[in-house]
Chains A and B, each alone.
Chain A
Amino acid sequence: MSGDPAVLEADAVSLRFGGVRALSDVSFSVQRGEIFSIIGPNGAGKTSMVNCVSGRYRPTEGRILFEGRDVTPLRPNRRAALGIGRTFQNLALFGHMSVLDNIMVGRHTLLGAGFLRGMVYWIGGAQREELAHRREVEEIIDFLEIEHVRKATAGTLSYGLRKRVELARAIALKPRLILLDEPMAGMNLEEKEDMARFIVDLNEEWGMTVLMIEHDMGVVMDISHRVMVLDFGKKIAEGTPEAVLADAHVRRAYLGESDDVVRDEAEPASA
């Protein structure tokens, strides 16, 4: 690992809300080019972990390092500017804006026009710059196959399409690490397959490192390079999908085998 630092490193991260321990002493690292998934039962702290990485929560203890740099004290918008993009578990599109505008917001940090030039937009060169960005945005739109809805109002789209637009908006930031919080929750089989394909392409062709939370075990095991399992805010396993599935702790905690209660894993939960 020396020389090329991990894209993301969580160093003994703990998060407490009053007396509730959402995360206790969780450490892991994500290497460049990986698809890394976090799984675990409802309330295990998966989203809390992602929020610590994106900056929405600040860990009570421990550090978050992005490409070797300590980003723990930085606000979410600074982290986004550094190259951490994310999507949300519950759809968080700007519903009344067009698909194109939604994606253009994602370009915010890359658009150079400053405060004053923005105010005198119609005089300054901001428009020329925007055209260059539009070209890149079109590429993203092509990639996610949402050409036909680019002028539509985001709020009017179907659920699967909105998830795709949200992903497009996150990609528009050109992040080197993208955090996907349940990208397939509530989707039908076809939509899930499409989304899985997009994530794999994003990883292989666009070279983005992916940190993902997902409940659909089939997808997680199919596309992840490594998997971490959280339970009650503690890390109980980490490794390749096969190794994690075989782990006795995981089977007990997550798949609920020892107490003979088999939970339905495919159910899109609202952790």
Chain B
Amino acid sequence: MDGALLFQLVLNGLIVGALYGVVAMSFVLIYKASQVVNFAQGEFLLVGAWVCWWMLTYWQLPIWAGFLFTLAFMTIFGILLQVIVLRPLIGEPVISVIMATVGLSIFFQALMKWIFGVFAQPFPPLFTVERVRVLGLEVQSVYLASLGVSAFIMLGFWWFFTYSKHGLAMRATAFDQQVAQSLGISVPKVFAMSWAISAVVSAVAGVVVGVVNGVSSALSFYGIKVFPAVILGGLDSIVGAVLGGLIVGVLENVAQYVDSQWLNWGNMYQIAPFYALILILLIKPYGLFGTRNIERV
């Protein structure tokens, strides 16, 4: 009984962790390209999920149309955010940029509450079969779909950065902006593109979580969960972000199991990743895959 429960929890952890990984990846993307720590990452999920929900319920669009509209909307949303809010801040102190993203986070949370209300809203049911049996375990179809979507996005990222012109240009810009420019790469365009991709990818994660749990402001909590994941993986490593996300997802579930069985401290699900965060910062501050910045004085 206990073994089966543990297995189920680990599986849940991997499914949720894959989503954390996807969000963490898009967080790292912005950080790598433009050195901006984006505190509004969770709001990308929130905005994306609400837009998609609105298309599906209010306009009664089929899921594919609503989804495509959401992607297009988030592309423009990401670009506008970068051009209007962040581009003027280039060259300003890091703390100003961080405060701007914190401001964006608060603004969009409030805006979404204002427009869509404070109550969680369920997506219309998308799957005819609620549950399927995998390896003798009952798994909700949405969870399986979510795992599939996460894997697809990760594969897409890998492909994009390894083979595409823009992926290469982004890596080049992350490494050295001056040199990238001398090779004909427009750095402002790369920045805008990184925000667009990050917003789109996060919105996909937002829609997936929305389908599973309903759409509510709780979605923006993913933006906070991203921090243990990216710190664990290393702030500037995309592979690290994925692994960090998976580890955080499993850690949450296992911590909750351990707590419910023996400790009875309560609420470990929420807190365990942050204990881990503190430990990592003490022991391995650059994360598992991060770049060590050695400053010679």
B159 near A80: Cβ-Cβ < 8 Å: no
Most chain A C-beta atoms within 10 Å of own C-beta, residue among B176, B178, B181: B181
Interface stretch among B160-168, B206-214, B247-255, B269-277?
B160-168
Q: Which of A55, A88, A104 has a CB less than 8 Å from the CB of B168? A: A104
A94 at the binding interface (Cβ < 8 Å): yes
- The chain A residue sitting closest to B181, CB to CB, is A76
In chain A, positions 108-161 with a C-beta closer than 8 Å to chain B are: 108-109, 111, 113, 115, 118-119, 121-122, 126-127, 130
B183 adjacent to A121 (CB under 8 Å): no
A118 lies within 8 A of B166 (CB): yes
Stretch at the interface among B52-60, B86-94, B112-120, B185-193: B185-193
Chain A hits for B166, CB < 8 A: 113, 115, 118-119
Q: Are A119 and B160 in contact (CB under 8 A)?
A: yes
Q: Is there contact, CB below 8 Å, between A108 and B165?
A: yes
B159, B176, B186, B187: residue with the most chain A Cβ atoms closer than 10 Å:
B186
Given contacts A77-B184, A108-B185, are A92 and B164 in contact (CB under 8 A)? Answer: no
Q: Does A54 contact B (CB under 8 A)?
A: yes
Nearest CB on B from A92, distance (A): 4
Interface of B is mostly: helix
Complex: chain B residue closest to A130, CB-CB: B163
For B184, give its contact among A80, A97, A126 (CB under 8 Å). Answer: A80
Are B168 and A121 closer than 8 Å at their CB atoms? Answer: no
Proximity string of chain B (197-208) to chain A, C-beta cutoff 8 Å, 1 when within and 0 when not: 100000000000
- In the complex, whether B65 has a CB less than 8 A from a CB of chain A is no
Contact with B along A219-263 (1 / 0, CB 8 A): 000000000000000000000000000000000000000000000
Contact: A101 with B160, CB < 8 Å? Answer: no
- Contact present for A121 and B164 (CB under 8 Å): yes
Contact B185 A75 (CB under 8 A): no
Contacting residues of chain A (173-200) with chain B, CB-CB under 8 angstroms: 173
Beta-carbon contact of A115 and B193 below 8 Å? yes
Check A96 against B175 for contact (C-beta < 8 Å). yes
Query: Which of A81, A88, A113 touches B179 (beta carbons < 8 Å)?
Result: A88
Known: A76-B181, A80-B182, A119-B160. A105 touches B187 (CB 8 A): no
- Nearest Cβ on chain B to A212's Cβ, whole angstroms: 16
Decide: A118 and B167 in contact? CB cutoff 8 A: yes
Q: A75 — which chain B residues lie within 8 A by C-beta?
A: 181, 186
A150 to chain B, nearest CB (A): 15
Cα distance A86–B178 in the bound complex, in angstroms: 11
Check if B180 is an interface residue, CB within 8 A of chain A. Answer: yes
Least CB distance, A21 to chain B, in whole angstroms: 23
The answer to whether the Cβ of B9 comes within 8 Å of any Cβ in the partner chain is no
- In this complex, what residue of A is CB-closest to B178? A56
Shortest Cβ distance from residue B77 to the other chain A in the assembled complex, whole angstroms: 15
Decide if B165 touches A76 in the complex (CB within 8 Å): no
Given A119-B197, A173-B184, A101–B168 Cβ distance below 8 Å? Answer: yes
- Does B22 touch A at the CB level, under 8 Å? no
* Bound CA span A259–B166, Å: 55
Question: A195 to B126, alpha carbons, bound, how many Å?
Answer: 64
Residue of A nearest to B174 (CB): A94
Chain B residues whose C-beta falls within 8 Å of the C-beta of A127 in the assembled complex = 163
Closest residue of B by beta carbon distance from A127: B163
Question: CB within 8 A of A77: which of B163, B168, B186, B193?
Answer: B186
User: In the docked arrangement, what's the CA distance between A95 and B181, Å?
Assistant: 17
A94 to B179, CA, bound (A): 9
Nearest Cβ on chain A to B265's Cβ, whole angstroms: 43
A59 within 8 A of B: no
A169 at the interface (CB under 8 A from B): yes
Q: What are 30 A-B interface contacts by the 8 Å CB criterion?
A: A55-B181, A76-B178, A76-B181, A76-B182, A77-B183, A77-B185, A80-B184, A81-B184, A85-B182, A86-B182, A92-B178, A94-B172, A94-B176, A94-B179, A97-B175, A105-B168, A105-B169, A105-B183, A108-B165, A108-B168, A109-B183, A111-B165, A115-B193, A118-B165, A118-B167, A122-B159, A126-B163, A126-B165, A169-B183, A170-B183
Q: A101-B168, A105-B171, A130-B163 are in contact. List 9 more A-B contacts (CB 8 A).
A: A56-B178, A77-B187, A81-B184, A94-B175, A96-B175, A105-B183, A108-B183, A122-B156, A169-B183
Which residues on B are within 8 Å of A, measured CB to CB? 156, 159-160, 163-169, 171-172, 175-176, 178-187, 193, 197
Instruction: Return the 10 tightest CB-CB contacts between A and B, nearest first.
Output: A109-B184, A80-B184, A118-B166, A76-B181, A111-B165, A121-B164, A92-B179, A105-B172, A94-B175, A81-B184
